Chain A
Amino acid sequence: MTYITKPKLHHPGLATNKLGFTHRDYEGRISTLCAGCGHDSISAAVIQACFELDIEPHRVAKLSGIGCSSKTPDYFLGQSHGFNAVHGRMPSVLTGANLANRELIYLGVSGDGDSASIGFGQFVHCLRRGVNMVYICENNGVYGLTKGQFSATADKGSKAKSGAINADSPIDLVSLAIMLGATFVARGFSGDRKQLVPLIKAAITHQGSAVLDIISPCVTFNNHAGSTKSFDFVRAHNEAVNRLDYVPAEKEITVDYKEGSTEIVRQHDGSVLKLAKLRSDYDPSSRVAALAHLQDRQEAGEIATGLLFLDPKPEDLHGHLNTIDAPLNRLGQDELCPGADALEAVNAEYR
């Protein structure tokens, strides 16, 4: 953390986006996390992604639970809506908000404690329902706020700063997400901005449940030799399956790509995901293949990153429930309270 606020002055040649904003306009308050925290890098990547996507800040709702990671929505998109939920209960609040107003972009921000321990049940059920959101898990494998105990995502054999070796099996959030029906599943690393920003952009434009597991080293409690979530370890064992390039809808793709080396996926909004294959055998459209590959890399002691699974034609909760398009706050008295006759008709359907 710092004692002074970030000066408002900015580089005189700073780029602006279509809305006339610079990336500085997407910042939030100054971070109070430890200096060098991976989470701050993720905040910066979210800022960069929203700036590049020309997102109007008031179209975004940031929701989080409790923990270091869940503090971060305060540090980006200071002009957006925010909700800090009870520990582990962000997914249900997000689901409710999404049901009430489907027009906003929902950004759920959580950590490995919030998602894989206290909020584990919320996490899995939210994914089962296919809520249209970006669920970011800032995963550092450690409980930083309580001074460095292993979290549920800590690798077996990983060493704590205190010297203890983790004997428990880890929860792999991406494998779970693929199994539970998320339609966009990716893993990134806070120390690789080039990979991370396109993943966040693609996740935001994906019209379904998008899960981003982002390895984020805890500089204070989990960045030592023997840790499997340190900068050095992740850099040495990072195996990207592909390199994603997000191309907005209005940009035509003119360059030809070699058959087999690059996959072009057109999204619902017209934007295009260009996937350069770094591993020729990797197929992100198959849940079975993705899961098998993740198991395989895990066995080899490596961390598979990149866009791991993508269903380009996602379904979402509103589709399943056949809800009205308009946000509830824009409905009038007559639509919200259609009267006794309407209720009678509904009840009759179930008789």
Chain B
Amino acid sequence: MSSVSAKGRKPSPGPARRVGMAPTDTANPNYFHKVVDCQWACPAHTPVPEYIRLIAAGRYSDAYMINWQSNVFPGVLGRTCDRPCEPACRRGRVEKEPVAICRLKRVAADSKDDISDRLPKPAMVKNGKRVALIGAGPASLTVARDLLPFGYSCVIYDCDPFAGGMMRTQIPKFRLPERVLDEECGYILGLEPETRFGHKVESLKAILAEGYDAVFVGCGAPRGRDLDIPGRKEAAEHIHIGIDWLASVSFGHTTSIGKRVIVLGGGNTAMDCCRTSRRLGGERVDVVVRSGFAEMKASPWEKDDAMGEGIPIHNFLVPKEITHVEGRLTGVIFEKVKAEYDDKGRRKLVPSGDPPVHMPCDDVLVAVGQENAFPWIERDSGVEFDERNMPKVDPVTMQSTHPKVFFGGDAAFGPKNIIWAVAHGHEAALSIDLLCHGGDVAVRPSPLVNVLSQKMGIHEWSYDNDVSLDLRFKVPHAPKELTLKDVNMEVELGFNRELAFKEAQRCLNCDIETVFEKNLCIECDACVDICPMDCITFTPNAPEPVLRTMLTAPATNPAQDLYVSADLKTGNIMVKDEDVCLHCGLCAERCPTGAWDMQKFYLETAKAHACSR
């Protein structure tokens, strides 16, 4: 070229702009929140990657407090949570298995120092508002924790003499030692609620008549479903309802069971029943489920643990009759079934035609589901019920049709799990706080959100961006010879600190977001080339379904968003498929202009205190 031309820039290609995706609005907290798959999936929206980094750094107490803030029972949940975060974990889409999030939480709880000075103190000044909490389970305790520090007077009712609800009565101590539960319930009782334990509430009207400003119903789903088949009544002495039996074991009333036990049902309660039976004298314990093994409701790891203790699981068997001789249980007759699917894909279990099976046994545990029961709520109390005899509850505010009555936990929408109960408790506490301060419970305060660059130097970040290639580590167990002899001995030993560090390093830090500033981009493609997962593409815009097929690696997971920029200088847009991004920050390290930056997204859901002050 002999001289520098004064010719101007060429116009963007294409005469008219094609219809395509609108630029991503990262100012909406939901966008980056969704990228943090674990936190998004957690009903209580625990900031998982943040506490995992703290565990890796050995800051167990800090990790514990982040958990305590969000999910109230880190030690309990670190052993018993249903872990909706783990199937959502991005690591599971990148290699074989997700990060052991749940068991890392336990490490924070087990390894922390004394954190009592970090906990809120009982309120010095009362605000004059009184709240009744029916049931002392995880939902009610969460409401109490959220409200007590701000001067509320909380009165907790429970028919049992202790706090904890189903965490105490239904979860065997070999999965959840009593001291862990006592410690975490104690943190809440330390805020000095009034407790009316051992007191069975008989009437909602009577409670309302006491002039409470709000009533929270967290009484769980206390009724175990029974089995109505021939022989049930005659052999009743050796047929037990699973959750009642577990409670009886928990309180020390039941200490033994027959040598041959059949557990009916395929949920987590069934798994707890069979494993408890093994420890109380059951030598031959069988689990029998109607459905297929794969469709069982129990968490996969609970099934593994049961089978690991020598408990076979038989599937596609429907109990037809209890056999008995002179009032003494002798066994159960099952009909063999198979699954058939109709045009709409609905499953139906139909007889397979095989002869029935008789399984002899000494005891039967029935764990075929739980039901809600509200005999104490008068139907004219102002709380309306639906056709399924469940209270009508707003899923966001947890408010019933009576403006002062709120529901949460299993009492609200039927049996779920602890982490959902906690999430309900937070929302109900927020609603109660709004109600008591004359606010509109439907107008929810925004979450607290921080987005902060992690850049420390030219290629230095304030998080460890090197991606570990380790596969998931197994939690060590105590020897079976010992655990099967003692119903109170904890089976899982938990990760030691060294294993915890290695497992924590598997976390991909999905909360460290790739943030793109389009005005700085010079479209050099450096990020495209360095990205180990082929997440980034510069391309003409197009409607989303088309765009998803046009990328460097096709974006085949529609549950994961595309991060899309506005038009760049050349008329192309930047598209990043969030699906399998490792959050390694190499795009930002390779970017010559800082158009990419790694920014930590921290979200804490609005709690009661967000609006009351």
CB neighbours (8 Å) of A303 from chain B are 1
CB neighbours (8 Å) of A156 from chain B are 1-3
Q: Across the interface, do B4 and A44 meet the contact criterion of CB distance under 8 Å?
A: no
Q: Across the interface, do A8 and B580 meet the contact criterion of CB distance under 8 Å?
A: no
Known: A1-B459, A2-B590, A9-B469. A228 touches B1 (CB 8 A): yes
Q: Which of B1, B530, B533 contacts A9 (CB 8 A)?
A: B533
Q: Across the interface, do A6 and B2 meet the contact criterion of CB distance under 8 Å?
A: no
Residues on A lying within 8 angstroms of B by beta carbon are 1-14, 24, 34-38, 40-41, 43-44, 155-159, 169-170, 190-191, 193, 217, 219-220, 223, 226, 228, 231-232, 235-237, 298-303
Judged by a CB distance under 8 angstroms, whether B94 is at the interface is yes
Q: Which of B522, B569, B570, B586 contacts A2 (CB 8 A)?
A: B586
Known: A3-B460, A7-B467, A36-B522. A14 touches B534 (CB 8 A): yes
| A-B pairs with beta carbons under 8 Å apart, 9 shown | A2-B589, A11-B580, A13-B553, A36-B524, A36-B593, A191-B524, A226-B4, A236-B10, A302-B7
CB neighbours (8 Å) of A298 from chain B are 1-2
CB neighbours (8 Å) of A302 from chain B are 1, 5, 7
Q: In the complex, what residue of chain A is closest to B529 when comparing beta carbons?
A: A44
Known: A11-B534, A35-B591, A300-B5. A4 touches B10 (CB 8 A): no
Q: Which of A7, A37, A43 contacts B582 (CB 8 A)?
A: A7
Q: Across the interface, do B524 and A41 meet the contact criterion of CB distance under 8 Å?
A: yes
Q: Across the interface, do A7 and B584 meet the contact criterion of CB distance under 8 Å?
A: yes
Question: In the complex, what's the smallest C-beta–C-beta distance from B130 to chain A, in angstroms?
Answer: 55
Q: Across the interface, do B529 and A10 meet the contact criterion of CB distance under 8 Å?
A: no
A201 to B63, CA, bound (A): 53
Q: In the complex, what residue of chain A is closest to B535 when comparing beta carbons?
A: A11
Known: A4-B465, A4-B466, A4-B586. A10 touches B2 (CB 8 A): no
Q: Which of B4, B93, B94, B590 contacts A35 (CB 8 A)?
A: B590
Q: In the complex, what residue of chain A is closest to B457 when comparing beta carbons?
A: A3
Q: A9-B467, A223-B522, A301-B5 are in contact. List 9 more A-B contacts (CB 8 A).
A: A8-B532, A11-B535, A223-B592, A228-B1, A231-B524, A235-B570, A236-B8, A298-B2, A301-B3
A8 to B584, CA, bound (A): 12
Per-residue A-contact encoding for B571-582, CB less than 8 Å = 1, 0 else:
000000000101
Q: Across the interface, do A155 and B524 meet the contact criterion of CB distance under 8 Å?
A: no
Q: Across the interface, do B525 and A193 meet the contact criterion of CB distance under 8 Å?
A: yes
CB neighbours (8 Å) of B4 from chain A are 155, 157-159, 226, 228, 301
A204 to B524, CA, bound (A): 24
Q: Across the interface, do B459 and A13 meet the contact criterion of CB distance under 8 Å?
A: no
Shortest 4 CB-CB contacts between residues of A and residues of B: A36-B592, A301-B5, A44-B529, A7-B467
Q: Across the interface, do B2 and A155 meet the contact criterion of CB distance under 8 Å?
A: yes
Q: In the complex, what residue of chain B is closest to A141 when comparing beta carbons?
A: B1
Query: Most chain-A Cβ atoms within 10 A of its Cβ — which of B535, B584, B591?
Result: B584
Known: A41-B529, A157-B3. A219 touches B524 (CB 8 A): yes
Q: Across the interface, do A44 and B525 meet the contact criterion of CB distance under 8 Å?
A: yes
A4 to B468, CA, bound (A): 11
Question: In the complex, what's the smallest C-beta–C-beta distance from B558 to chain A, in angstroms?
Answer: 14
Question: In the complex, what's the smallest C-beta–C-beta distance from A88 to chain B, in angstroms?
Answer: 24
CB neighbours (8 Å) of B532 from chain A are 6-10, 24
CB neighbours (8 Å) of A10 from chain B are 532-534
Judged by a CB distance under 8 angstroms, whether B526 is at the interface is yes
A226 to B5, CA, bound (A): 10
Judged by a CB distance under 8 angstroms, whether B202 is at the interface is no
B194-227 residues with Cβ-Cβ distance < 8 A to A are none
Judged by a CB distance under 8 angstroms, whether B556 is at the interface is yes
A91 to B460, CA, bound (A): 39
CB neighbours (8 Å) of A40 from chain B are 526, 529-530, 590
A138 to B589, CA, bound (A): 22
A38 to B525, CA, bound (A): 9
Q: In the complex, what residue of chain A is closest to B9 when comparing beta carbons?
A: A236
Question: In the complex, what's the smallest C-beta–C-beta distance from B239 to chain A, in angstroms?
Answer: 49
Q: Which of A12, A155, A232 contacts B580 (CB 8 A)?
A: A12
Q: In the complex, what residue of chain B is closest to A48 when comparing beta carbons?
A: B529
Q: Across the interface, do A14 and B529 meet the contact criterion of CB distance under 8 Å?
A: no
Q: Across the interface, do B589 and A35 meet the contact criterion of CB distance under 8 Å?
A: yes
A231 to B94, CA, bound (A): 34
Query: Most chain-B Cβ atoms within 10 A of its Cβ — which of A3, A158, A232, A300?
Result: A3
A191 to B530, CA, bound (A): 15
CB neighbours (8 Å) of B465 from chain A are 4
A298 to B522, CA, bound (A): 25
CB neighbours (8 Å) of B459 from chain A are 1-3
Per-residue A-contact encoding for B505-544, CB less than 8 Å = 1, 0 else:
0000000000000000011111011101111000000000
Q: Across the interface, do B589 and A301 meet the contact criterion of CB distance under 8 Å?
A: no
Per-residue A-contact encoding for B440-465, CB less than 8 Å = 1, 0 else:
00000000000000000001100001
A182 to B3, CA, bound (A): 27
Q: Which of B5, B523, B556, B584 contacts A191 (CB 8 A)?
A: B523
Question: In the complex, what's the smallest C-beta–C-beta distance from A306 to chain B, in angstroms?
Answer: 16
Judged by a CB distance under 8 angstroms, whether B120 is at the interface is no
Question: In the complex, what's the smallest C-beta–C-beta distance from A158 to chain B, in angstroms?
Answer: 6
Judged by a CB distance under 8 angstroms, whether B186 is at the interface is no
CB neighbours (8 Å) of B593 from chain A are 36
A103 to B14, CA, bound (A): 45
Query: Most chain-B Cβ atoms within 10 A of its Cβ — which of A7, A8, A34, A35?
Result: A35
Question: In the complex, what's the smallest C-beta–C-beta distance from A98 to chain B, in angstroms?
Answer: 29
Judged by a CB distance under 8 angstroms, whether B230 is at the interface is no
CB neighbours (8 Å) of A190 from chain B are 524
CB neighbours (8 Å) of B582 from chain A are 7, 9
Query: Most chain-B Cβ atoms within 10 A of its Cβ — which of A12, A193, A217, A299?
Result: A12
Q: Across the interface, do A2 and B534 meet the contact criterion of CB distance under 8 Å?
A: no
Known: A13-B553, A14-B553, A155-B4. A231 touches B523 (CB 8 A): yes
CB neighbours (8 Å) of B94 from chain A are 9, 12
Q: Across the interface, do B526 and A35 meet the contact criterion of CB distance under 8 Å?
A: yes
A299 to B532, CA, bound (A): 43
CB neighbours (8 Å) of B524 from chain A are 36, 38, 41, 190-191, 217, 219, 231
Question: In the complex, what's the smallest C-beta–C-beta distance from A112 to chain B, in angstroms?
Answer: 14
